[in-house]
A and B are shown apart, each in its own frame.
Chain A
Amino acid sequence: MARSPNLSRRGFIMSVMTFAGSIMGIVVGLPVIGFLISPALNVTKSDAWVPVGKLDSYPVGVPTPFSFTRTKVNGWEKTVNSISVFVLRDATDKVRVFSSVCTHLGCRVTFHKDSNEFICPCHDAHFNKDGGVVSGPPPRPLDQYESKVENGALLIHVIQS
């Protein structure tokens, strides 16, 4: 194959353009991707023992709601997250603290006294008083918080990621 000088000149220009183009593409493109997803890469974990009131204030045998807020930094914003839990105290003062976040897709469950169940309104999931799945799509029982009692006050271990 005879190589005409013309063609190799074209080839040269093409490769220079390709080279310059890819350099520019990479130098701009990668930072742009990093720029957009950067908040997703910053994973900070925090944990704290949060007081949720006196143990005696919770009735025995009935899951009782308690809400509190935790502040977390998201980018430039201090987001105030509202966390609500259900405290279930039994006769021996053993305490279980359930998260109100449905384990299916994160809607909030409410406790219905008439049927003695937690019900999630999104996909009609039912959990029993002990957090176990009765019916509906949730993959696992309601999440529980670790808890302890100090000087009559109930504290729960809140881990935020």
Chain B
Amino acid sequence: MISKRMYPWLDERLGLSGIYKTVLDRMVPKVNWWFTLGSATLFLFALQVVTGIMLSAYYVPSPDKAYDSIQYIMNGVAFGWLIRGIHHWGATLMVITVFLHMLRVFFYAAYKYPREITWTTGVFLLLATLGMGFTGYLLPWDQKAYWATTVGTSIAGTVPGIGEFILRALRGGSDLSGVTLARFFSAHIWMFPAIIIALIGVHIYLVIRIGISSVPKEND
């Protein structure tokens, strides 16, 4: 078998058995199904990345073209409805799993010593996920998107003192325009994903280093 001879060669160079030992072949406490929510979220994020990259092959972030390009994805491109459908519903499910994951951690007190930083990165991940939702909502440039973002950004404008400035910074000017769409697109496909991927790296490193928490017993 080639693979039998290939493996030691590769292992010597890539350190595969080291990775196997630290990542896969480790002991974890016996836990329940609620503990699958984290990996479910990771899975959904991976799906969002894949479908998002696919969508960007046709999507055009301009007020004149955005709507039509999405109509084309939905009706003209083979399986466009599937890719966009998964991206759309994946976002909804991801918010749900992130939220339930956080509640699980809270109710099992898993944020306590020694997992404080895991929790903090998790909160930032929650915020970034909501940021993805907010920026992604505008991209179809339909009625729902336009008006929700108009009102959403004007809510940010009610912050005392610096509200007006925040509103302009979000919209890229005083009105919702092509500039807004371009920067929401940039935030949605580059800035937030970069932040999320970096934070997921830290989050998972910590989960593997410290180990997943156990279900608290009565004397804990």
Contact = CB atoms under 8 A, between A and B. Distances in A.
B71 interface: no
B75 interface: no
B99 interface: no
B165 A77 contact: no
Given A105-B155, A105-B158, A122-B151, A39 B168 contact: yes
Interface residues of B, number: 22
Nearest to B169: A40
Interface in A28-85: 36-37, 39-43, 72, 74-77, 79, 81
Contact of B174 (A106, A122, A161): A161
Contacts of A72: 174-175
Contacts of B177: 74-75, 77, 79
A13 interface: no
A106 B158 CA distance: 10
A77 B174 contact: no
B70 to A, nearest CB: 20
Nearest to B174: A161
Interface in B116-168: 147, 150-151, 154-155, 157-158, 165, 168
A107 interface: yes
A76 B178 contact: yes
Nearest to A161: B174
Contacts of B180: 74
A92 interface: no
Contacts of B158: 105
Contacts of A106: 150-151, 154, 157
Contacts of A76: 178-179
A105 B179 CA distance: 22
A8 interface: no
B211 interface: no
A160 interface: yes
Nearest to B168: A40
Contact of B175 (A36, A74, A105): A74
Contacts of B63: 77
* Most chain B CB inside 10 Å of its own CB: which residue of A36, A41, A106, A107: A106
Contacts of A79: 173, 175-178
B90 interface: no
Contact of B172 (A40, A122, A161): A40
18 contacts: A39-B171, A39-B179, A40-B168, A40-B173, A72-B174, A72-B175, A74-B171, A74-B175, A74-B179, A74-B180, A75-B173, A75-B177, A76-B178, A76-B179, A77-B177, A77-B178, A105-B151, A107-B151
Interface of A: 36-37, 39-43, 72, 74-77, 79, 81, 105-107, 122, 160-161
Interface of B: 63, 147, 150-151, 154-155, 157-158, 165, 168-169, 171-180, 183
Given A42-B173, A74-B177, A74-B180, 6 more contacts: A39-B169, A39-B172, A74-B171, A77-B179, A79-B173, A105-B155
